[in-house]
Amino acid sequence: MDSLLHVQSSSCFQVISDIAVRKNWTDARDACDSEGGRLAVLDTKDKIDTVMDVMRDNPDFPLVSYHLGAHRPMDRWDTAWPNGKPDYIWLNGQPLDLNLTEPYWNVHDPNNWGNSQNVMILSNNQKRLWGDTAAVADGGYICEFSLI
Ligand SMILES: [Ca+2]
């Protein structure tokens, strides 16, 4: 398994990037939980920088997308955004800070295309940017383990 540990001050991150273990978002969330972690909650600049550096430093990761630990409230899946604005929350229950995360989204994302994009991914393209996608799409994933 292409599985690496990357340590930041409060967390370490494990990138699961094996084509044989691709999972949809819900199964990826459960897999991180079962290891005592969670899908990565990138709610600080420090954590964002750590994960983005990992992806930049490993251009040979074989998968094109990696689930992160943010999603729309599940009772709103497959609906339009309220007031036309993204309603993402991290798995710690905190709303996603759109000012902090704005520089990391793909230029067209989040867009809730077809009102069917309910979860957040990191796209393994040249700029390693974030997108919103369907929860059923299989991909790699990034787990976070708390060090504190
Ligand atoms: Ca999208």
Residue pLDDT, tens place only, 13-67: 999 998 898 999 999 999 999 999 999 999 999 999 989 888 888 888 888 899 9
> pTM for this structure?
0.92
Q: Identify the CATH assignment for 3-146 out of 3.10.100.10, 3.40.640.10, 2.60.40.420, 3.40.50.2020.
A: 3.10.100.10
Residue-wise pLDDT for 56-109, tens only, equals 888 888 888 999 999 999 999 999 999 999 999 999 999 999 889 989 999 889
Task: Specify the DSSP class assigned to residue 128.
Answer: -
Note the pLDDT of residue 119: 97
> Left (φ > 0), alpha (ψ -120 to 50) or beta: where does 90 sit?
beta
CA distance 132 to 119: 5
Q: Closest Cα partner for 66 from 147, 146, 145, 144?
A: 144
72 Cα–ligand 1 center, Å = 13
pLDDT at 2 over 70: no
How far apart are the CA of 114 and the centre of ligand 1, in A?
Answer: 9
Question: Ligand 1 (ion): which residues have CB within 5 A?
Answer: 109, 111, 113, 117, 132
pLDDT at 5 over 70: no
Q: Using CB atoms within 10 A of its CB, is residue 147 exposed (0-12), middle (13-18) or buried (19+)?
A: exposed
Name 90's bridge partners: 70
> Given a cut of 80, is residue 138 above it in pLDDT?
yes
